[in-house]
């Protein structure tokens, strides 16, 4: 088992300066593919900043920034096959975009309308999970169904480092190992579970070490390096599909923004730590690599940003043009058949809304 000597190597293709340290993964070994990967990260960054602006101006609800963590979702999205299943948490915009989810759908969800997770072009992936670690349980169940049906598919589920402190997480990786389920658990270790640093969450040397306790493969990857994330996910997913071998992948990153727009990270996070992390972030690194090895120009870079800004602008226009959600609609989908108590709660809620104008 990788890491069974209790020493997990951090797998890296690009160093912080953008220098390639090992041969490119074959599936990404063309300039066009590399640019496509970079564009996905840029689009995610542009979308992220625009979503925060929408929240700040009252056009959307609380939003969780993924700034500095784009390489993880991009690597996952590129590694997954079409018939695999993504069970995401709330910082997986890049993977969702790659899987066909529309930007306006993501905005609609964070605007308070659950219909945003009813994807037009992606019927098998699951909605964003806001409750912490519960998606890991769902992923294990889906993986069991895939194995039971003898399908050549796999499940990817994601979470933050804070979720690894939850019982749901341990129960899920344990049952995946015990039953040999085709699932890959990806932990975005962005160092901060809201205001709690990693060293206060666990005494384990790394999150990857948690794989040892349940007998599954564990890996540690540089989460600022999309090539490394793609490589590790491609290999673990293939083993999941063909051998029903689950894996735990710890992706090292850093949360450059606040936990959500309802948070102020400056109250608990050292500025010097944030400044150091900004020098390692994925877009700077990957752009430097493209410039060194693929003659990437400033004009090309500017063009890709303008293209992404235009795409996000159109998505925002589509979001703003959506019909207003009927008041109290969220009560209607709690159960297949609404209970009398729930119907009473809905009427009382609607009456309160009417009184407040």
User: At 321, which CATH number?
Assistant: 3.40.50.970
**3-class secondary structure, 86:** strand
Residue 115 gets which letter from DSSP?
G
The pLDDT value given to residue 5: 54
Same domain, 247 and 314: yes
Q: Is the pLDDT of residue 242 over 80?
A: yes
- Residue 181 near residue 225 (C-beta atoms within 8 A): no
Q: Give 175 or 355, the one with higher predicted confidence.
A: 175
Provide φ and ψ at 9, rounded to 5°. Answer: -70, 140
Nearest residue to 196 (alpha-carbon basis) of 273, 265, 272, 281: 265
Whole-angstrom distance, CA of residue 95 vs CA of residue 101: 9
- Residue 122 near residue 82 (C-beta atoms within 8 A): no
Q: Is there a domain that residue 1 lies in?
A: no
The pLDDT value given to residue 189: 98
Same domain, 184 and 204: yes
Q: In terms of DSSP H, where are the helices of the chain?
A: 31-56, 70-79, 93-98, 103-110, 134-148, 167-179, 210-214, 226-243, 271-278, 282-294, 298-320, 340-355
Which residues are within 8 A (CB) of 82 and not within 5 positions of it... i.e. 6 or more apart? Answer: none
Which residues are within 8 A (CB) of 219 and not within 5 positions of it... i.e. 6 or more apart? Answer: 2, 3, 8, 11, 208, 232, 236, 247, 248, 249, 250
Same domain, 252 and 340: no
Q: Is there a domain that residue 332 lies in?
A: yes
**3-class secondary structure, 329:** helix
Q: Give 99 or 356, the one with higher predicted confidence.
A: 99
- Please state the pTM of the whole predicted model: 0.95
Q: Is there a domain that residue 5 lies in?
A: no
Q: Is there a domain that residue 43 lies in?
A: yes
Q: Is there a domain that residue 2 lies in?
A: no
Nearest residue to 127 (alpha-carbon basis) of 98, 106, 145: 106
Which residues are within 8 A (CB) of 339 and not within 5 positions of it... i.e. 6 or more apart? Answer: none
Known catalytic residues?
Answer: 255, 259, 268
Q: Is there a domain that residue 115 lies in?
A: yes
Same domain, 308 and 352: no
The pLDDT value given to residue 4: 47
Same domain, 180 and 283: yes
Tens digit of each residue's pLDDT (9 = 90 or more) over 33-53:
999 999 999 999 999 999 999
Q: Which of 41-50, 300-309, 322-331 has the lowest mean pLDDT?
A: 322-331
Provide φ and ψ at 110, rounded to 5°. Answer: -70, -10
Q: Is the pLDDT of residue 30 over 90?
A: yes
Whole-angstrom distance, CA of residue 83 vs CA of residue 38: 24
Whole-angstrom distance, CA of residue 248 vs CA of residue 230: 14
- Domain span at residue 193? 10-325
Same domain, 62 and 117: yes
**Around 130, how many Cα atoms within 13 Å sit in the side-chain half-sphere?**
10
Per DSSP bridges, beta strands 10-11 and 217-222 are parallel
Same domain, 226 and 307: yes
Same domain, 316 and 341: no
The radius of gyration of the chain's CA atoms, rounded to the nearest angstrom, is 21
Domain count, the chain: 2
Same domain, 146 and 234: yes
Q: Is the pLDDT of residue 257 over 80?
A: yes
Q: Is there a domain that residue 258 lies in?
A: yes
Q: Is there a domain that residue 245 lies in?
A: yes
Provide φ and ψ at 278, rounded to 5°. Answer: -65, -30
Whole-angstrom distance, CA of residue 25 vs CA of residue 2: 20
Same domain, 313 and 349: no
Whole-angstrom distance, CA of residue 292 vs CA of residue 153: 37
Same domain, 107 and 248: yes
Q: Is the pLDDT of residue 192 over 80?
A: yes
Same domain, 158 and 244: yes
Confidence at 3, pLDDT banded by 50, 70, 90: very low
Residue 132 gets which letter from DSSP?
S
């Amino acid at each position: 088992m990788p890491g069974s000597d209790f020493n997990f190597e951090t797998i890296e293709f690009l160093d912080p300066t953008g220098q390639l340290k090992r041969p490119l993964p074959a599936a990404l070994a063309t300039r066009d593919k590399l640019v496509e990967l970079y564009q996905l990260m840029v689009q995610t960054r542009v979308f992220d900043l625009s979503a925060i602006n929408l929240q700040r101006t009252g056009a959307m609800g609380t939003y969780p920034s993924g700034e500095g963590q784009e390489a993880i979702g991009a690597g996952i999205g590129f590694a997954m096959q079409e018939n695999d299943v993504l069970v995401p948490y709330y910082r997986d915009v890049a993977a969702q975009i790659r899987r066909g989810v529309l930007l306006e759908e993501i905005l609609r969800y964070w605007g308070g309308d659950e219909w945003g997770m009813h994807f037009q072009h992606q019927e098998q992936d699951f909605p964003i999970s806001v409750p912490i670690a519960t998606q890991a349980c769902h992923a294990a169940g889906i993986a069991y169904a895939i194995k039971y049906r003898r399908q050549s598919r796999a499940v990817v589920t994601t979470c933050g480092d804070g979720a690894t402190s939850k019982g749901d997480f341990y129960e899920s990786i344990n049952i995946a190992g015990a039953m040999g389920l085709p699932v890959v658990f990806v932990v975005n270790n962005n160092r901060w579970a809201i205001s709690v640093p990693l060293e206060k969450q666990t005494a384990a040397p790394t999150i990857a070490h948690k794989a040892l306790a349940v007998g599954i493969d564990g890996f540690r990857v540089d989460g600022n390096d999309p090539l490394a994330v793609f490589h590790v996910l491609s290999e673990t997913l293939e083993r999941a599909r063909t051998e029903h071998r689950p894996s735990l992948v710890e992706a090292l990153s850093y949360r450059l923004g606040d936990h959500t727009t309802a948070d102020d990270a400056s109250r608990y996070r050292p500025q010097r730590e944030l400044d150091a992390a900004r020098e390692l972030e994925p877009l700077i690194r990957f752009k430097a690599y493209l410039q060194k090895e693929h003659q990437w120009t400033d004009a090309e870079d500017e063009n890709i940003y303008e293209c992404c800004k235009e795409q996000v602008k159109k998505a925002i226009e589509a979001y703003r043009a959506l019909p207003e959600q009927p008041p109290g609609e969220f009560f209607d989908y709690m159960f297949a058949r609404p209970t009398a108590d729930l119907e009473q709660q809905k009427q009382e809620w609607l009456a309160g809304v009417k009184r407040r104008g």
